[in-house]
Structure 1
Amino acid sequence: MSETKTVNTPPHAVETASRFLEARRSAASLPDYPGSPPVSLDEAYVIQDAALSQSAETVGGWKVGRINPPLSNQYGADRLAGPIFASTISRVEPGSTGRIFSKGFGAAEAEFLFRIGNAPDLGKTSFTLEEAAAHIDAVHIGIEIASSPFPGINELGPAVTVSDFGNNNGLIIGVPVNDWKSEAFADVDVHVKINGVVVGTGRASGFTDGAVGSVRFLLEHLARRGIAIKAGDWISTGAVSGVHPVKEGDRVEANFGSLGMMECTIVAQQAQ
C-alpha cells in the first residue's frame, strides 16, 4: 500500500478515486467519467494519490507516458506518471497474456524498462541525466498494457489519463539489454505487430532526453509528491512506437530488432 495520504483531499477527488478502484476490482465498465474530469495535471495527481491511499495493492513500479505537442504546452509537461502494481508485473514466457478491461480502454505499448538499483534520497528533487542513470541497475525490453474501465480515458487528455493510475494495467518484462549504458538501444528500430500487421515503428531516441529522460522526470516527479521509489522498482519509460489499441484475443508482437522479440495475447481482466 502506498503511504500517500488523503489529508485535505477534496471529497470529489476521493469519490472519483473510489469509483475507479471499485470498477477495477470488479472488472466493470465505466461508460462515463466518474465525476468531473480534472482540468490540470495537479488536480489529476490528487485523484491518483487518493486512489493509492485507498488501495491495498503494492506498487512495484511506475509508468511514464509521453505528452506530445500541443498538449504538452497546454498542460505544462511533456510526460506523465502512474503506478504499476506488483501483482500486474510478469516475466515474458510462452503463453504470456496482457489483461484489459472489457468495454473499457485497452492498448499495448513496446517500451524499454529500467530497474531501480539504489533509491535516491527523498530530499533530492533535482537530477541530471547522469545522476538519474546512476540509480539504474538493469534495462529490459518490455510491453506495457494500458487499460482502464473508462473507454474515453485517452480521448479526454493527459489529466484524465493520470487520474486512473496513468491508464496502466500491467507490465510484461522481456530479456535484458546487456549494453544499455552505451545507450545504443535508443537507436534500435522497434516494431509492433497486432495479429501479424505492423501498427507502429519508432526509436527511443525520439524521446526528449531519451529514455533516461523519463527516469529523471519520474525521480523528480515522485520526490515532489513525497513518494519514495524503491530498489527493485521498474520504470516503464514510454511507448516507443506509439499506443496501439487492442481487444480480447489479439496477438501482440513487440520486435526490438537485435535486442529481442516478445509476444503476448490479450485477454479480459477478471474481477479480483
Structure 2
Amino acid sequence: MTDQMTADLAARLYSAEANKSVVAPLTLEHPDLSVELAYGIQLANVKRRLEKGDRVVGHKIGLTSRPMQAMLGVNEPDFGHLFESMHYQSGDVVDYPLIQPKVEPELAFILREDLVGPNVGVQDVLRATRFVLPAIEVIDSRIADWNIKLVDTVADNASSGCFVLSHTAHSIENADILLSGAILKVNGQIVQTGAGAAVVGNPALAVAWLANKLSSLGTTLKTGDIILSGAVSAAVPVASGDHVSLTFGRLGRVDLTIKG
C-alpha cells in the first residue's frame, strides 16, 4: 500500500465520521491490509485531529475479551486514541456525531506518572495509577453494519466514539478492580452485567499490554492520561434519546443520555 492509499483511506474514514455516514469495509477493497498499515491509517487521522486543534487525553483498549478475540481471529487487544472532544462527564447529554453507537461498561485508569515500556507488568500499572473510576464508552463504527475485521476497527481508531466518566474516583489501593460488579441499564432496564476480571483476567493487565505496545511504536503513556481498560461485558446498541446508566459496585455510578 502506498502512502497515498493510506492517506485516501484515512480521509474516507474521517469524512464518514464528519458526515455521519458509513463506508464499506476497508478489507473488501484491500483484503491484504496489515495491522501495521491499519495503525498507520489511524495515526493519519490522529494527526488530522491534532492539526484542527483537538488534544489527545489518553487511549482506549479494545478486544479485551476472549470471545471477541476469537471472533476476529486475534490473540491480543487493539487500541485507539482518546481526544478531548470525546470526553463527557456523568449526567451529560452526549451530542457527539454518532452513527451506529453501542455502549460498554468499563473501568478508567488515570495515571499519576508516566508508564514506560517495555516489560511493564501489573504491579507497575498499579504503582503508576492515581485513580480508577467507572466509565461508559460509546463505541461507534464508520464501517457499514459493523461488518468489521481486525484491521477495519484498528484503522477506524478502534471503533471509537466518545466516553463518559464518573464523578467518583477511587485510589487504586482502595478499589477492587477484579471483583467489583457492573450493572449496565438502558432506559431503566438491565441489559448487561460483568466484573473487572472479565477484561483479560485483570484490567491492569490490559493497561500493561497497552504500555508495552506503545513502547514498541516509540511512544509512552503519560502522567494524567485516561485509559479505558476494556469492556467488562458485551456492547449494547443505543439510539437517540436513550438514557444509559452504569453502577460499578462501591466504585460508583455514571450515566448519560444520547441526544435526541
TM-score range normalised by the length of the shorter chain: 0.7 to 0.9
Whether the aligned pair in 2 keeps the contact of 1:18 and 1:54 (CA below 8 Å) is: no
- Matched residue, 2:159: 167
Letter in 1 for 2:94: T
1:111 equivalent in structure 2: 106
User: What residue in structure 2 maps to residue 239 of structure 1?
Assistant: 231
Letter in 2 for 1:65: G
Contact 1:97 / 1:266 at 8 angstroms: preserved in 2? yes
Say if 2:64 and 2:230, in contact at 8 Å, map to a contact too: no
Measured in 2, the distance between the counterparts of 1:38 and 1:184 equals 42
Residue 45 (str. 1) matches residue 39 (str. 2):
yes
Return the alpha-carbon distance in structure 1 between the equivalents of residues 66 and 201 of structure 2. Answer: 16
Q: Which residue of 2 aligns with 1:255?
A: 247
Matches within 5 A, 1:49-60: 49-56=43-50, 57-60=54-57
- Determine the C-alpha separation between the residues in 2 that align with 1:247 and 1:100: 12
Residue identity in the other structure for 1:230: K
Structure 1 residue 133: deviation in Å? 2.2
User: Is the CA contact (8 Å cut-off) linking 1:147 and 1:169 kept in structure 2?
Assistant: yes
Contact 2:164 2:254 in 1 (8 A): no
What is the DSSP-based 3-state SS (H/G/I as helix, E as strand, rest coil) of the residue aligned with 1:181?
Answer: helix
Report the identity percentage. Answer: 23
The alignment's C-alpha RMSD in Å is 2.4
Aligned to 1:133: 126
Aligned partners of 1:136 and 1:70: how far apart in 2? 28
**How many correspondences in the alignment?**
254
Judge conservation of contact 2:65–2:199 (CA < 8 Å) in 1.
no
Aligned-residue offset at 1:66: 2.2
CA 59–129 in structure 1, closer or farther in 2 if over 3 Å, else same: same
Which 5+ residue runs of structure 1 have no aligned equivalent?
Answer: 1-7
**Kept in 2: contact 1:80–1:162 (CA 8 A):** yes
Q: CA deviation at 1:245?
A: 1.1
Given that 1:100 and 1:267 are in contact with CA atoms closer than 8 Å, whether structure 2 keeps it comes out as no
Measured at CA, do residues 253 and 151 of structure 1 come closer, stay the same or move farther in structure 2, by a change above 3 Å? farther
2:231 alignment partner, SS class: coil
Alpha-carbon distance in 2 for matches of 1:148, 1:44: 15
CA offsets per residue over residues 81-119 of structure 1, 9 Å max, x none? 0001112112223x4426352xx3211111100012111
Deviations 1:12-63 (A, max 9, x none): 2211111111222x33302423553665432321211222223322111110
Task: Give the deviation of 1:203 after TM superposition.
Answer: 0.7
Q: Give 2:148's match in structure 1, choosing from 142, 146, 156.
A: 156
Tell me: CA distance 1:171–1:38, structure 2 relative to 1, closer, same or farther (3 Å): farther
Residue 143 to residue 129, structure 1, CA distance change in 2 (3 Å)? same
Cα shift at 1:179: 5.0
Partner Cα separation in structure 2 for residue 110 and residue 98 of structure 1? 19
| Structure 1 pair 186–69 and aligned structure 2 pair: CA distance change class (3 A) | closer
Q: Find the aligned partners of 1:229 and 1:258 in 2 and give their Cα distance.
A: 27
Match of 1:192 in 2: 184
Aligned partners of 1:141 and 1:174 also within 8 Å:
yes
Which secondary structure does the structure 2 equivalent of 1:165 belong to?
coil
Segment drifting more, 201-210 vs 63-72: 63-72
> Does the 8 A contact of 2:64 with 2:206 survive in 1?
no
Cα shift at 1:238: 0.7
